[in-house]
Amino acid sequence: MAERVLGDRPLVSVVTVCYNSERHLSEAMGSVLKQTYPEIEYIVIDGGSTDGTLGIIRSYEERFGDALTWISEPDSGIYDAMNKGIARASGQLVGLLNSDDAYVLDAVERIVAAYRDRPDAGAFYGDVDIVGETGALVRTEVATVPPDGELPQRMPMCHQSLFVARHVYEELGPFDTSFRILADYEHVLRLRAAGVRFVHVDGAIARFRLGGACSADTAKSAAEREAIRVRYGASPLVERLKRLRHAVNRAGYAALSRVAPGMAARHEGSRRRA
């Protein structure tokens, strides 16, 4: 789809994918509606929800007006749904906001300011406020992108805080859906390998709620991480040893938890500080 420019203000596309998301979707949609930057098109891709999700989407139709488009149909996973949204986007920048997360009030405005300052760049990102289930702040996570030529160990920023130029998606492609959990990590490495410039925007862009597929399936996440890193030049032997060590550590911690919960907690705290 062709990009749209409104005067000197670029159009920004925000995509939210959801499935049975009635618990937090209103907060996510409300945070897009309240943005201080006005030129936003909002695309919601629902996977065929059976709870109250569709009612929440419809309740926002009048408030968003023509700025909101949405569909509800089965998909093949979160990244397939995101790709559907990206394909429908017509803005110069595309952001991806999960249905249980939210933007801070001036997030898009600050991203657009960085985009105007650095037209040579293709990706713009900020920090995130990590919140618990109730929305209480746990910590602020500062995003970092390693120097060119250095492979980041994991996703260097939350994709909720990342906006990618539409032409980058057109040139380098959307998410690789063969990766069910870490396709966003693979995509960032793909952009870096192609020489796309990343610009950090100071301060939190989004509120990221703890939980999700990556933390729920650590074994599959570790397997995908290994495959992705090898694809982009990491040593297969080193990556396999890392994964085996991680699996042994997790198994040992699980065993400690069953035998001596207090000792396991102390062990986990030491491991995190290491």
pLDDT of residue 214: 47
Please report which confidence band the pLDDT of residue 168 belongs to, taking 50, 70 and 90 as the band edges: very high
Q: State mean pLDDT over 39-52.
A: 98
pLDDT of residue 150: 86
pLDDT of residue 123: 98
pLDDT of residue 267: 38
The yes-or-no verdict on residue 235 having pLDDT over 60 is yes
In order, the DSSP letters of 37-83 are ---EEEEEEE----SSHHHHHHHTHHHHGGGEEEEE---SSHHHHHH
pLDDT of residue 266: 40
Domain ranges of the chain: 5-215, 218-273
Which of 185, 171, 169 shows the shortest CA–CA distance to 227? 185
Q: State mean pLDDT over 193-211.
A: 93
Structure-token pair, residue 153: 């160990």
The yes-or-no verdict on residue 263 having pLDDT over 50 is no
pLDDT of residue 239: 85
pLDDT of residue 252: 59
Pairing of strands 137-141, 123-131: antiparallel
Residue 86: φ, ψ to 5°: -60, -40
Give the span between the Cα atoms of 144 and 156, in whole angstroms. 6
pLDDT of residue 257: 57
pLDDT of residue 233: 92
In order, the DSSP letters of 168-202 are HHHHH-S--TT-SS-HHHHHHHHHHHTT--EEEEE
Q: What pTM, to 2 d.p., does this model score?
A: 0.85
CATH domain 5-215 topology: Spore Coat Polysaccharide Biosynthesis Protein SpsA; Chain A (3.90.550)
The yes-or-no verdict on residue 240 having pLDDT over 90 is no
Q: State mean pLDDT over 170-176.
A: 98
